[in-house]
Amino acid sequence: MSLLHKIATTLADLIFPPHCCSCSKPIEVGSWCDDCRLALPYIKEPRCQQCSMPFEGAITGDFACPNCHDHEFHFHCNISMVMSRGAIRDLIHGLKYYRKSWNVTPLVQIVRMVFDDERLTDKPAVLVPVPLHSLRVRERGYNQAELLARALGRVSGFPVVNMLRRTRPTTTQTHFDRAHRLKNLRGAFAVKTGISLPDECHIILVDDVFTTGATLDECARTLVNEGFPTPDAITIARA
């Protein structure tokens, strides 16, 4: 952080003291008070090793949930740290639909520990955000997946590579089941020309929410079909 940035941040904190992004209680540092941070819907074991869906009960060992057991994804696994509920869902919706780009900061403060997951190998890696179509970017002002990827890149030290593009606009996925989502997205992505990665480089796709996995699956399928290694994925939350 530059000296000028530090001075500006200090002055901003003096004029606008930080408050918890969930309950608005004054705090000294960060974006969450201790109570709200501890009460978040963290995903813990047992959870699906493919999509991170948590399950209650005495399940031992690796397992695939009903969403995944009969479907062969083109990515190894998706890792989400929290469920999309309460304050987390509100922050994501604000980021996606209300141009609250600053919501990236509290979200990444919660999920930065994702890089401690042993499934993310110690190989050199690049973070690849799921792309938006240019029409949606102009409407929204940014691609929220790219903002998240860049924030996660600052935490991890992994570079962000925008190697995918949307070839056409797609209908919003919100009310579609997986079959309709897959149909809606088929052929909607392509690898940009001139993209090359170092040997043994690990690809990690980044998006905001995992619902059925259709978007990540189509992105991964596009990469694999172009000869790139099977990626993993990080999403902020699991729907």
The span from the CA of 227 to the CA of 172, in Å, is: 29
In order along its 239 residues, the chain shows pLDDT tens digits of 456 555 545 445 545 678 999 999 999 888 999 999 999 999 998 999 999 999 887 777 778 888 898 889 999 999 999 999 999 999 999 999 999 999 999 999 999 999 999 888 777 899 999 999 999 999 999 999 999 999 999 999 999 999 999 999 887 666 566 677 667 788 899 999 999 998 889 999 999 999 999 999 999 999 999 999 999 999 999 99
Nearest CA to 166 among 147, 184, 148, 150? 184
Give the DSSP letter string of 227-238: TPPPPEEEEEEE
Spatial contact of 160 and 153, defined as CB atoms under 8 Å apart: yes
Nearest CA to 213 among 50, 97, 43, 48? 50
86 sits in the region (left: phi over 0; alpha: psi -120 to 50; else beta) called left
Domains and CATH numbers, the chain: 1-31 (no CATH), 72-238 (3.40.50)
Cβ neighbours, 10 Å, residue 84: 21
Instruction: Give the pair of three-digit tokens for residue 53.
Output: 């869906």
Strand spans (E) along the chain: 78-83, 125-129, 164-166, 189-191, 202-210, 232-238
Instruction: Give the pair of three-digit tokens for residue 28.
Output: 């000294």
